[in-house]
Amino acid sequence: LIRLRDDDDDQARIFPITRQYAWAIIKRIAKRAGITERISPHWFRHAHATHALEHSAPIKLVCETLGHSSVAITDRYLHSRPDTSSGDYLKVG
């Protein structure tokens, strides 16, 4: 099959995953797992970015991993939490 393709890229996928196919996979897995919330491929990207940033991943690294053109875009994934404060990070005594 690789030889039948029109390109010379040996690393290219034979059957690339389309956006629609990714959605179908996620919906099928969510149904099997009993998840009733609406989830999407973007939801997973958002969760990945949010958790990475909450666990002190450098924002520039998350930006590059997600393929964002600017750190300003990645900054949208930083959320303030009502149960936390910047004071939690100050060392006293």
What pTM value is reported for the model?
A: 0.60
Mean pLDDT of 25-40: 90
pLDDT at res. 19: 86
- Residue 55's nearest CA partner among 78, 71, 73, 74 is 78
pLDDT band at 54 (very low <50, low <70, confident <90, very high): confident
Predicted confidence (pLDDT) at residue 25 exceeds the cutoff of 80? yes
pLDDT band at 60 (very low <50, low <70, confident <90, very high): very high
What is the chain's length? 93
Q: Give the 3-state secondary structure percentages of the chain, helix then strand then coil, rounded to 5.
A: 55, 0, 45
